[in-house]
């Protein structure tokens, strides 16, 4: 269990609409709705007193959470992005601009609990940053060249320089060597910490051209001059749930890890 240097709040956004997996937050995993599984897994790895709250868009999500004793707030259904939903949740919870929240996606039932405290600590220790996130070393060339695996490069202070679906950094002198650059390139893991004041401001920032090209919302923050602190972990992340096949894989995992 990792406790952050100061209190923070964990927010888990959850909406029923999903193109590939309708009603995804309520998908059954071993008799428990997925969003509840996520909340329970996070709670297992954070210090006592850290509040974990689901930001849902329907009464059905709130009722499922209440049944299992998970805190939840009802947010609007028409939010354009997860960041908008998080900002409204901060207002509903009465959080101050100087507080820190950690965003854990509601379709990550295999999230490594220790990363939640680690990403909060990373932002707490980086006063120049508005956000924090996580990365791990890429293990093979297929992953490095896969556009669905987001890569990140860092500066000397472990702040993100850029995120891309392309293989970065590109090894100019050995492009066809069949081995990874050294040191190993980094894969971005989609867990974030935010200063609440920045989170309230973020949805109002104009989207950047880079964000539109790469389809990566975090590039908006970099475009507007905000820093993102990055915690590098040795932990390989568990995959999220985007498809029915993903859901069956996660169900099998929980069946073997009750």
The four Cα atoms 161, 167, 171, 177 give a dihedral, to 10 degrees, of 160
3-state secondary structure (DSSP) of residue 222: helix
Cα gap 189→28, rounded to integer Å: 25
Cα–Cα distances (Å) from 165 to 9, 131, 192, in that order, read 30, 20, 18
Phi and psi of 248, rounded to 5°? -65, -40
- Under 8 Å between Cβ of 120 and 8: yes
pLDDT in tens, 223-240: 999 999 999 999 877 778
Split at pLDDT 50, 70, 90, the class of 213 is very high
pLDDT in tens, 19-31: 678 889 999 999 9
Whether the per-residue pLDDT at 115 is higher than 50: the answer is: yes
Instruction: Name the residue with higher pLDDT: 47 or 5.
Output: 47
State which fold the 9-256 domain adopts.
Spore Coat Polysaccharide Biosynthesis Protein SpsA; Chain A (3.90.550)
Instruction: Name the residue with higher pLDDT: 174 or 34.
Output: 34
Domain chopping of the chain, boundaries: 9-256
Question: For the chain, what percent of residues have pLDDT higher than 70?
Answer: 97
pTM for the structure as a whole: 0.90
pLDDT of residue 49: 82
Mean pLDDT of 76-89: 87
Count of Cβ atoms closer than 10 Å to residue 167 Cβ: 20
Split at pLDDT 50, 70, 90, the class of 4 is very low
- Under 8 Å between Cβ of 119 and 231: yes
* Residue 200 DSSP class: H
Beta pairing, strands 129-137 & 186-195 = antiparallel
The four Cα atoms 151, 214, 126, 169 give a dihedral, to 10 degrees, of 40
Split at pLDDT 50, 70, 90, the class of 1 is very low
């Amino acid at each position: 269990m990792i406790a952050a240097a100061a209190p923070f709040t964990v927010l888990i956004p959850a909406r029923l609409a999903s193109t590939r997996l309708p009603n995804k937050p309520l998908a059954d995993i071993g008799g428990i709705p997925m969003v509840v599984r996520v909340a329970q897994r996070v709670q297992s790895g954070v210090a006592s007193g850290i509040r974990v709250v689901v930001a849902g868009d329907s009464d059905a999500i709130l009722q499922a959470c209440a049944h299992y004793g998970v805190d939840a707030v009802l947010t609007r259904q028409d939010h354009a992005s997860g960041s908008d939903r998080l900002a409204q949740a901060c207002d509903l919870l009465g959080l101050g601009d100087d507080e820190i929240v950690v965003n854990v996606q509601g379709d990550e039932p295999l999230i490594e609990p220790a990363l939640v405290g680690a990403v909060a600590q990373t932002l707490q220790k980086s006063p120049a940053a508005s956000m924090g996130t996580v990365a791990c070393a890429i293990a093979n060339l297929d992953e490095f060249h896969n556009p669905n695996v987001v890569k990140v490069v860092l500066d000397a202070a472990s702040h993100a320089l850029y995120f891309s679906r392309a293989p970065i950094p590109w090894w100019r002198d050995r492009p066809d060597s069949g081995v990874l650059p050294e040191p190993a390139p980094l894969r971005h893991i989609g867990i974030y910490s935010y200063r609440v004041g920045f989170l309230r401001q973020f949805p109002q920032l104009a989207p950047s051209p880079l964000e539109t090209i790469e389809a990566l919302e975090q590039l908006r923050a970099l475009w507007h001059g905000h820093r993102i602190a990055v915690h590098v972990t040795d932990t390989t992340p568990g995959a999220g749930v985007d498809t029915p096949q993903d859901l069956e894989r996660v169900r099998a995992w929980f069946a073997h890890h009750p």
